[in-house]
């Protein structure tokens, strides 16, 4: 999402809204494995059966492109972090997005919690919550339970 429109995301991060950013380095920790896929296939869950049909391409893409034995759960992880913030830990700080050049889409975090009294051009920027860790087993359990019902 950030690479697609870094200018807009930079505006969101600097507008002062209550933002929780769940980045790809966090969502890459949450993988619906091939074993999970088999569990879903053997369930009677309507959502599970539907998901398996539409995600065949996604599973193949991850197998071929990333050599993973599963798929990353980017959107479900971000959604569950918003619904139940106890599933993640986060740091707070100013976040800016590089909007041009070879680093277009790169996000930079000025961790205000780690600074002393220095005053910089980042000091007066609003803070954003940035996910740092995720409770992977809890997220996977919630996703599997919802899909199999």
Give the residue numbers annotated as catalytic, written as ranges.
Answer: 74
Q: For the stretch 29-38, what's the b/e string if a residue is b when 16 or more beta carbons lie within 10 angstroms of its beta carbon?
A: ebbbeeebbe
- How many other CB atoms sit within 10 Å of the CB of residue 63? 14
What is the rounded distance in angstroms from the CA atom of residue 148 to the CA atom of residue 63? 23
Q: For residues 78 and 22, is the Cβ–Cβ distance under 8 A?
A: yes
Token pair 């193949």 is at which residue?
Answer: 60
The length of the chain in residues reads: 149
DSSP strand E in the chain: where? 20-21, 31-33, 70-72, 88-97, 107-111, 128-134
Token digits of residue 135:
């409770």
């Amino acid at each position: 999402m950030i690479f697609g429109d870094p200018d807009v995301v930079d505006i969101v991060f600097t507008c002062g809204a209550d933002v929780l950013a769940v980045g790809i380095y966090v969502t890459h920790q949450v993988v619906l494995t091939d074993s999970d896929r088999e569990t879903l296939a053997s369930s009677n869950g309507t959502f599970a059966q539907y998901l398996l049909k539409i995600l065949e391409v996604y599973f193949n893409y991850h197998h071929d492109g990333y050599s993973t034995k599963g798929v990353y759960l980017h959107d479900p992880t971000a959604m569950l972090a918003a619904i139940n913030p106890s599933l993640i830990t986060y740091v707070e700080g100013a976040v800016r997005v590089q909007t041009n050049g070879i680093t277009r889409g790169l996000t930079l975090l000025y961790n205000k919690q780690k600074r002393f009294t220095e005053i910089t051009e980042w000091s007066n920027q609003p803070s954003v919550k940035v996910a740092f860790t995720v409770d992977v087993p809890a997220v996977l359990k919630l996703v599997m339970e919802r899909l199999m019902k």
